[in-house]
Amino acid sequence: MTERSVSNGSVDRQSFAPSGVERGGSEGESGFTLIEMLVALAVFSLAALALLRLSGASATNGARLGDQAMAAIVARNIAAETLSDPGPPPFGTQTGVAVNGNRRWSWTRDVARSPEPRIQQITIAVAPEAGGPGRASLVIFRALQ
């Protein structure tokens, strides 16, 4: 690559370009413009934000489902205790606290008559003692003796 001088003292631009490549005008140029890059970056950032929001919602829903599953386990445990007692529970509402999964759960057991006179309808509701998500309810039936 040697410099070629033009009569007015300026350097010929063609001499610094690799062979076969023209420099200068807009005809031979390729690549992206700044506007195209900014638009692409904006589209990418919107997609990335949507994915972040989706992953956050997924984590929140996963935690909520875990709490509800634990509350359902507590409700089934109370139901198992109720059904395994030798005698039927008294009619009315009873409350208590159960510890499961290193958490305290408050439960309510409502015993009422069912449409069939010899059967009790028992509704068990469970919620975290500290409040928040993770509630469950269960309805069971037990024969009167």
At 145 the pLDDT is 74
Classify residue 134 by burial, with Cβ atoms within 10 Å: 0-12, 13-18, 19+. buried
Query: What's the whole-model pTM score?
Result: 0.62
pLDDT tens-place string over residues 26-52: 566 788 899 999 999 999 999 999 999
Domains and CATH numbers, the chain: 34-143 (3.30.1300.30)
132 confidence band (pLDDT: 50, 70, 90): confident
The answer to whether 117 and 136 are in contact (CB under 8 A) is: no
25 confidence band (pLDDT: 50, 70, 90): low
How many whole angstroms separate alpha carbon 109 and alpha carbon 67?
A: 20
Does residue 15 register a pLDDT over 60? Answer: no
Q: What's the whole-number average pLDDT of the chain?
A: 84
**CA–centroid distance for 120 within its chain:** 39
H-state helical runs in the chain: 34-84
The answer to whether 12 and 4 are in contact (CB under 8 A) is: yes
Helix (H), strand (E), coil (C) string for 88-121: CCCCEEEEEEEEECCEEEEEEEEEEECCCCCEEE
CB atoms < 10 A from the CB of 124, how many? 23
66 confidence band (pLDDT: 50, 70, 90): confident
